[in-house]
Amino acid sequence: MSRRPAAAPWRALTAALAGAAATGGAAHALAARPPGGTARWARTNHRGEPLTLLEGPATVLGAAAGVALAPGLPRGARAAALTAVLGAGALGAYDDLAGDGDRRGLAGHLGALAHGRVTTGAVKVLGLAATGTVAAALAGGASSRGRARPAARVADVLVGGAVVAGSANLLNLLDLRPGRALKATLLAAAPGLAVADPLAAAAAGAAVAALPADLGERSMLGDTGANALGALLGATWVARSGPRGRAVALAALTALTLASERVAFTAVIERTPVLRELDRLGRRPRT
């Protein structure tokens, strides 16, 4: 079985630069004219200090620009990544702006839905599942070609969709401290960067551009940016892997998501020296 050849480094560099430049440009434009006014995007961070959620839409636009302008991407992979970024970003924005701020977790939202209460988080969860499935169908995969049975193709798409949705949800769970979700994005993108994957580069470029303001606690990703970057990372994996790779990714995402319902990631990070130092790197000292 032949491996897919690595992309040319200049293609990944183009995607990264486009993602970074578009994120920075969008951040300046949105700060000058915030949609709906400044107050609509104002929030309070873990220190009780004011910041803005406009980093989220800026990151969505930047990541989408990096994907759109990346040279040499297969049509399906580009369409899948754009669907993942824009769809997850829109759903995150809905939760950011219309939600009541009640962070119930996945089980909480689904439990409320089972009792007839439709939370904004539940709408987002179901929307992410739909968006991820469409993205996985556009990306295709090993089981979508050749003589694979229809049932196998459908299963592969559903697993791929769950990977995209699960990645979006998991990155959002990490967006509780300055820079944490963006650092996780860079770490998750690293294997793709090693083989010059333009999709991974687009995510990394957007994350690097957003990192200074996030670490400086002037802005945060919110659900808008965290869901979008997570979905792009999931779509990147789906576009490069076959059924087995998608299944492994889904198993890991499921395990981490279930663990988050019982254990606070912040507590685990604080108890683990390497993770604690990485988490605090570049952040303002605690007072």
Q: What is the pLDDT of residues 70-115, one digit of tens each?
A: 998 999 999 999 999 999 999 999 999 987 655 555 655 566 666 5
User: pLDDT value at position 118?
Assistant: 67
**pLDDT reported for residue 268:** 94
Mean pLDDT rounded to a whole number for the chain: 89
% residues pLDDT > 70 (the chain): 88
Q: Are 236 and 94 in contact (CB under 8 A)?
A: no
Helix axes 9-32, 198-215, angle to 10 degrees: 40
- Range name among 103-117, 133-147, 194-208 with the lowest pLDDT average: 103-117
Torsion angle (degrees, nearest 10) of CA 123, 128, 131, 137: -140
Q: Which of 35-39, 116-120, 198-202 has the lowest mean pLDDT?
A: 116-120
Backbone angles phi, psi at 52, to 5 degrees: -120, 150
How high is the pLDDT of residue 115?
59
Q: Which residues contact 225 (CB under 8 A, 6 or more apart)?
A: 55, 56, 57, 58, 59, 60, 89, 92, 175, 181, 210
147 pLDDT more than 50: yes
The per-residue DSSP string of 186-214 comes to HHHHHHHHHTT-HHHHHHHHHHHHHHHHH
pLDDT higher than threshold 90 for residue 224: yes
